[in-house]
Chain A
Amino acid sequence: AQKITQTQPGMFVQEKEAVTLDCTYDTSDQSYGLFWYKQPSSGEMIFLIYQGSYDEQNATEGRYSLNFQKARKSANLVISASQLGDSAMYFCAMREAIGFGNEKLTFGTGTRLTIIP
Chain B
Amino acid sequence: DTAVSQTPKYLVTQMGNDKSIKCEQNLGHDTMYWYKQDSKKFLKIMFSYNNKELIINETVPNRFSPKSPDKAHLNLHINSLELGDSAVYFCASSRRTGLKNEQFFGPGTRLTVL
A interface residues, Cβ below 8 angstroms from B:
33, 35, 37, 39, 43-47, 50, 52, 89, 91, 95, 98, 101-107, 109-110
Most buried by A among B31, B33, B96, B101: B101
Q: Interface size (B, Cβ < 8 Å)?
A: 27
A101 proximity list for chain B (CB < 8 A): 96-97
The segment from B17-25, B41-49, B72-80 found at the interface with A is B41-49
B42 proximity list for chain A (CB < 8 A): 107, 109-110
The answer to whether A107 and B44 touch across the interface, beta carbons within 8 angstroms, is yes
B interface residues, Cβ below 8 angstroms from A:
31, 33, 40-45, 48, 50, 55-56, 88, 90, 92, 96-97, 99-105, 107-108, 110
The answer to whether B55 and A102 touch across the interface, beta carbons within 8 angstroms, is yes
Picked from B43, B48, B97, B102, the residue with its CB within 8 Å of the CB of A107 is: B43
Residues A44 and B101 in contact in the complex (CB < 8 Å), given A102-B55, A104-B48? no
- A52's nearest neighbour on chain B, judged by CB, is B99
A33 proximity list for chain B (CB < 8 A): 99-101
A46 proximity list for chain B (CB < 8 A): 105
- B100's nearest neighbour on chain A, judged by CB, is A50
Picked from A37, A89, A95, the residue with its CB within 8 Å of the CB of B101 is: A95
- B110's nearest neighbour on chain A, judged by CB, is A43
- B107's nearest neighbour on chain A, judged by CB, is A44
B90 proximity list for chain A (CB < 8 A): 45
